[in-house]
Amino acid sequence: MRVLFVTPFYEPAWVYGGLTRANVTWARALVAAGVSVSVWTTTANGDRDLEVRRGVPVESSGVQVTYYSRWRRSGNRFISPGLVRASLERVAEYDVIHAAGLWNFPSWVSVLGSLRAGIPYVVSLHGMLMPWAIQHHGQRKSLFFNWLEQPRLARANAIICTSELERQSFLTLGINNRVQVVPNVVDNADLMPVPDRFRERYNLQNSFVMLFAGRIVKNKGIHLTLAAFNQIVELYPDARLIIAGPAEDDSVQELKQRVKEWRLQNRICFTGLLTGSDYWDALAGADLFVLNSYSENFGMAPAEALSLGVPVLLSDQVGISELVGKYRAGVVTPLNVQAISAAMDVMLADRATLYQMGENGVRLVQENFSPTVVGKRLVNLFNDIVYMRSKRSSGG
């Protein structure tokens, strides 16, 4: 089976975060399962272009990746003439096309090529139709959705969501189509985090560390986390809250003002963006990962924390929260300061239970998010799509 991923960006364009990582790990999981995978993408890397060979396939962990020049003035639409030509002329070489994400030109043009060639295609959502995401630039997105996205989603052979929460959200849109849940891959088998290195760096050797790691934006609910922490901080002198991530709106200024007003300067630390080993050291060095997000289709950072045996405190709007509750790998709360504060109190007071939650979290990741498990789900989905196409072609 030959599968083609068409995505606006690909490794090493890590500046785009979750969508880059999801596609890279899905592609590698398919290769490990014996599937031939190609990726067509652009040279986009934020404000710059990747320094890569263009228009010719290069191998990356068994995946054949072709980078096409993008028109920078197209912004986050990622328009690429080379990718247009490939999508209209060469998609017939593949059995299934995976169009990654919404609101971007590569995903649109790959579907156009698929329809012209009669090749089945799937579209992965990656949280782009979650309520919070739709409300952002609502009028413009509503126009694009009705004109472009809804018709191609309705004609797709399947829609991929990364969690049951995202699937349920998609179903409310009334698009009658097959919806498959395929989670992100969480795989840190080759990493050797050094938690003591993180704790020493921020003077946390004798502290109970609560960690938030991610973009500092309003929808992440960090203001709720901070307010809840303020309510319990006096009860636990060793408690510290570490906020790690880049500021993408004015949230960080508001948060720092609150920290000053509540005199929490010695209990809260803003580290900025942590990457590579610094990021993994922070995850491993935490006692509890906290994410009280308003909208999270999956929740990659807490899933990675779980893989290291760190329990989590999540809102019920985080995609993996249902599994966390099922496996008892943490605590799930509504988006309410009092509920979050009460959960913090319970978890800090019973630290023996936290250890068991951590062990449960490792099992959760192994049984649901490993490359083998996710790769099998993708293979089953694509094989079924190819089989149904051949059946229709033969008149069966």
What residue numbers bound the domain in which 166 lies? Answer: 2-185+371-393
pLDDT(128) > 60: yes
Is 385 exposed, middle or buried, given 0-12, 13-18 or 19+ CB atoms closer than 10 A?
buried
**Structure confidence by residue, pLDDT tens digits, 343-396:** 999 999 999 999 999 999 999 999 999 999 999 999 999 999 999 888 776 665
Same domain, 122 and 230: no
Same domain, 308 and 279: yes
Task: Give the mean pLDDT of the chain.
Answer: 93
DSSP-derived secondary structure for 319-373? TTHHHHHHHTSEEEE-S-HHHHHHHHHHHHH-HHHHHHHHHHHHHHHHHHTSHHH
Q: Is residue 205 part of a domain?
A: yes
Same domain, 213 and 90: no
Same domain, 258 and 309: yes
Give the per-residue pLDDT at 76.
Answer: 76
Q: Is residue 230 part of a domain?
A: yes
CATH number at residue 61: 3.40.50.2000
Task: Please give the helix or strand (H or E) that residue 116 lies within, else none.
Answer: helix 105-117
- Is 264 in a helix, a strand, or coil? coil
Q: Is residue 388 part of a domain?
A: yes
Same domain, 115 and 219: no
Same domain, 364 and 381: no
DSSP-derived secondary structure for 208-241? EEEEEES-B-GGGTHHHHHHHHHHHGGG-TTEEE
Q: Is residue 190 part of a domain?
A: no
Same domain, 363 and 378: no
Same domain, 280 and 358: yes
Instruction: Please state the rounded mean pLDDT for residues 257-279.
Output: 94
**Structure confidence by residue, pLDDT tens digits, 35-94:** 999 999 999 998 899 999 999 999 999 999 999 999 987 777 899 999 999 999 999 999
Q: Is residue 42 part of a domain?
A: yes
Q: Is residue 286 part of a domain?
A: yes
Contact 166, 297 (CB under 8 A): yes
Give the per-residue pLDDT at 145.
Answer: 84
pLDDT(127) > 80: yes
Give the per-residue pLDDT at 275.
Answer: 84
Same domain, 271 and 350: yes
Give the per-residue pLDDT at 190.
Answer: 64
Same domain, 223 and 90: no
Same domain, 274 and 232: yes
How many domains does the chain contain in total? 2
How far apart CA 53 and CA 43 sit, in angstroms, is: 9
Same domain, 126 and 259: no
Give residue for tokens 């973009």.
215
Give the per-residue pLDDT at 348.
Answer: 97
pLDDT(276) > 80: yes
Q: Is residue 100 part of a domain?
A: yes
Which residues contact residue 71 at a Cβ distance below 8 angstroms, ignoring those fewer than 6 apart? 79, 80, 81
Q: Is residue 221 part of a domain?
A: yes
Give which of 86, 160, 139 is closest to 117, Cα–Cα. Answer: 86
